[in-house]
Structure 1
Amino acid sequence: MSLLMRMFVDPFFASKKILVVDADAKQQNDRTWCFWETKPDLFEPIVYHQWNKLDFYSDHYSSELSINPYTYKMIKGIDFYNYVKTSVSVSPNIEWRNTTVKRLIDHRFEIEASNELAGVELADGETIFAEYVFSSILFEPIKTKPSEYHFLQHFKGWEIKTAVDCFDSSRAVFMDFRVGQEAGTTFMYVLPTSSNTALVEYTLFTEELIEDEAYNIALEKYISETLQITEYEILHEEKGVIPMTTKPFPNAKGRHIFIGIAGGQAKASSGYAFKYIQKRTAGIVAAMKQGKHLAYGKGFQHAKGQLYDSVLLNVLHNRKMGGDAIFADIFKGMKASKVLAFLDNESNLWTDLKIMNTVPTRIFLPAALHELKQLM
């Protein structure tokens, strides 16, 4: 939907026929996106809340994070869906179908002399061809090689309303690792949107999921013991799983262009995806207007980001150091704004080296050498 919105607001696409196929009617508030940016972007009108002050907590190090020039922002899923659907509804060149895509059609083998088209087959058997097909669908479960890592960012969050004022809506808890780390890298974040409402989310980076009741127990304990809130109601609940994997995803196959998680836009070391999707979709629009190929080259910045991701997942997979201690060392040793740039793959090499210097060389150097060897 990010790509659709970017096409809608650009006059270049006003004469293009655009078909959106989605099995989900997008009528539920099924997720919340949080991200940081230095200036407003396309979806600024639906930012539900934003913070300039963030807190970091762990048993190793705790501090307020200095994030200037960044602002930390929240967008609710239902606001995003409604905003895009309402906006594009006035456009006669955009059609929306609520159905399932059964498969992508490989035009090179199935349609003679049609190398300028891409196709999809819908659930009812109808086939549709277009100049481009943009797909965010993972048709099969992710399968990794022995040299690749596959973690999951999984979470459950409660939007709560308290009986009395408990929150400072001008500051959010970015990460609170003062919870059990038995399952792996585990933290809470708290996003107050008023003095008595906040999203409290329990998040894990692990290779296996946990029982559903474990999320509830952790949330209840954190709210009562850490936040010291006893009277509250749950306004909304959300739960999700995002892949964190070093498995390479194709960004294009002919005129099938892959976007979202299917295009590898979820960062392997964190699961963050929203900002990466915005970068990719903005890049697609720019390339189409310039007549360039839509398969982007994986340059130095991308390659070093992938290497850093694999090194971190190596350390976590082999349990050489806990994620709570790693993030504590990084935020203790570096200005938070530099760390946020690093997590966005936008830091320079000098900053990268300084961040590397914040974590134990005896642990991370062997992991880095191992991952470099895998690339050779």
Structure 2
Amino acid sequence: MNHVLDADVVILGAGCAGLSLASRLAQAHSAVRVVLVDPRTSYQDDRSWCFWRPDHHDLSDLVSARWSAWRFSDATDRAALHRVAGLSYQYIRSIDFYTRAREQIAAAPSIDLRLGVAGGAISVVGDHLLVQTTHGPLLARDVIDTRPRQQGAIVYQSFVGVELHSTAPHGLDPAEVTLMGSMAADAIGLRFVYALPLDQHRVILEWTRFGATPTPRAQLLAELDTVVNAHSLGDATRVRTEGGVLAMGLVPDSQPTLPGVVFAGNAGGALRAASGYGFLRMQRWAQACADRLIAGVPAVGHPPEPWARATLDRLFLQAIRRHPERTAEYFLALAEGVPPASLLRFLSDGARTSDYARIIGSLPKRPFIAEIGRRTIYSPPPATLRPAAAMPAAGSLPPRVTLTRSEAAS
């Protein structure tokens, strides 16, 4: 029986991963016929994507802010300030990325973005794949599934953030980003502030917790309010909010996959297990997958982690889970004991053997050696978890988040 294909490739999910692949195919003027479906009906400024790069790269015109230095600190004001020559920490607003990608896709006659359409079951029909959607079935040669999946993880990174615009200078140094500020740990796990000063009057503050279970959003919002008020920013205009739960160290998927179906995006392994960074990893995958499709080769999913990286990340996450009260100690040990260039290469997937040696050498040996022979422990997916412990009393939070103040505010 002859089947007429609706597309060469169906992409399920038009978030960062799906749009990245489609926009690269559009830029290459590819003849590959692509249909993207996503249940959302519009795009919001709902993410802050950050990474380290030289000032000039293929997405540099989308960068809203850059910082030449990044800081780690704990609740006692013990701190480490890092710089690496030729590299800066850069921020892309999600709405700018979405807008650019959609413009490129709209100009490509072979690519069709269908919003308000949810993908469903996938089945094999002859040599092709049939994808059920809320607007009818689609027959394709390849399917790239970037949809979120209910997967358990070793540790969950829960966060909420707010972009604030203040009339008076906010007092943070616009040349420095606070990656992990006022780190402290309790029975739940690590907590810290992530601060992106966009200029002297605009700042993004995010409050983050690591734990064996996701932290309820209401708790995170209450704690974030404490941080905002501690910096006398309670009267600042709240421009937008963001938040989410990152599953770090996903349960390996034991379900058999259909031939021609590959997985990408966060659920496909794009998030770095030990850090939660994923944007550049998605860009590398998107380029590799686009090159294959243009060459007439089947699509490829996000690649598996190299053994050394996967092993070290697993041991690190297991130690965090088993000893949550020591998590701040572990991160500050990395910040203080590993040269900035080595730590940056590790966080950016470019670690050398010598970098791994420095990482291992900086951490306390006993808790990590103990994890080598242990079975990995996962928590079930967030939807099936009980809420985390109740919000601690205000006195258990740092009375003031310790962030570097700029010269203008002193």
Q: Which residue of 1 aligns with 2:122?
A: 105
Q: What amino acid is the match of 1:18?
A: V
Q: Which residue of 1 aligns with 2:310?
A: 306
Identify which of 22, 32, 39 aligns with 1:16. 32
Measure how far apart 1:252 and its partner are.
Answer: 6.8
Identify which of 124, 135, 144 aligns with 2:145. 135
- Spell out, residue by residue over 1:313-350, the C-alpha distance to the aligned partner (whole angstroms, 9 max, x if none): 11112116622111100111112221121122210112
Cα distance in 2 for residues equivalent to 1:312 and 1:258: 25
| 1:205-216 paired onto structure 2 within 5 Å | 205-216=210-221
Question: Structure 1 pair 297/18, CA: closer, same or farther in 2 (3 Å)?
Answer: closer
Does the CA-based 8 Å contact 1:251-1:259 persist in structure 2?
A: no
Q: Does 1:4 align with 2:22?
A: yes
Q: Does 1:123 align with 2:147?
A: no
| 1:46-125 paired onto structure 2 within 5 Å | 46-59=62-75, 61-107=78-124, 111=125, 113-114=126-127, 117-124=128-135
Measure how far apart 1:51 and its partner are.
Answer: 1.0
Cα distance in 2 for residues equivalent to 1:365 and 1:179: 23
Cα distance in 1 for residues equivalent to 2:88 and 2:256: 29
- Spell out, residue by residue over 1:88-123, the C-alpha distance to the aligned partner (whole angstroms, 9 max, x if none): 21222221212333424231xxx2x31xx2331111
Does the CA-based 8 Å contact 1:315-1:321 persist in structure 2?
A: no
Q: Which residue of 1 aligns with 2:243?
A: 239
Q: Which residue of 1 aligns with 2:384?
A: none
- Spell out, residue by residue over 1:205-264, the C-alpha distance to the aligned partner (whole angstroms, 9 max, x if none): 212233333223322222333x45454221211121221124235897421121102311
Does the CA-based 8 Å contact 2:39-2:117 persist in structure 1?
A: yes
Cα distance in 2 for residues equivalent to 1:135 and 1:175: 32
Runs (5+) with no aligned partner, structure 1? 144-148
Cα distance in 2 for residues equivalent to 1:298 and 1:192: 34
Could you say what the CA RMSD is over the residues aligned between the two structures, in angstroms? 2.5
Does the CA-based 8 Å contact 2:144-2:301 persist in structure 1?
A: no
Q: Does 1:353 align with 2:350?
A: no
Single out whichever of 188-197 and 213-222 deviates more from structure 2.
213-222
Q: What amino acid is the match of 1:348?
A: R
Q: Which residue of 2 aligns with 1:154?
A: 158
Q: Which residue of 1 aligns with 2:41?
A: 25
Measure how far apart 1:3 and its partner are.
Answer: 0.7
Question: Structure 1 pair 350/304, CA: closer, same or farther in 2 (3 Å)?
Answer: same
Runs (5+) with no aligned partner, structure 2? 1-18, 377-410
Does the residue aligned with 2:179 lie in a helix, a strand or coil?
Answer: strand
Identify which of 309, 327, 332 aligns with 2:331. 327
Measure how far apart 1:177 and its partner are.
Answer: 3.1
Measure how far apart 1:204 and its partner are.
Answer: 1.5
Identify which of 315, 320, 337 aligns with 2:319. 315
TM-score (norm 1): 0.86
Does the CA-based 8 Å contact 2:32-2:294 persist in structure 1?
A: no
Q: Does 1:35 align with 2:51?
A: yes
Does the CA-based 8 Å contact 2:179-2:195 persist in structure 1?
A: yes
TM-score (norm 2): 0.79
Measure how far apart 1:176 and its partner are.
Answer: 0.6
Does the residue aligned with 1:84 lie in a helix, a strand or coil?
Answer: helix
Measure how far apart 1:168 and its partner are.
Answer: 2.7
Does the residue aligned with 2:99 lie in a helix, a strand or coil?
Answer: helix
Question: Structure 1 pair 296/209, CA: closer, same or farther in 2 (3 Å)?
Answer: closer
Q: What amino acid is the match of 2:284?
A: K
Q: Which residue of 2 aligns with 1:146?
A: none
Q: What amino acid is the match of 1:199?
A: I
Cα distance in 2 for residues equivalent to 1:251 and 1:235: 44
| 1:163-242 paired onto structure 2 within 5 Å | 163-165=167-169, 166-179=171-184, 181-225=186-230, 227-229=231-233, 231-242=235-246
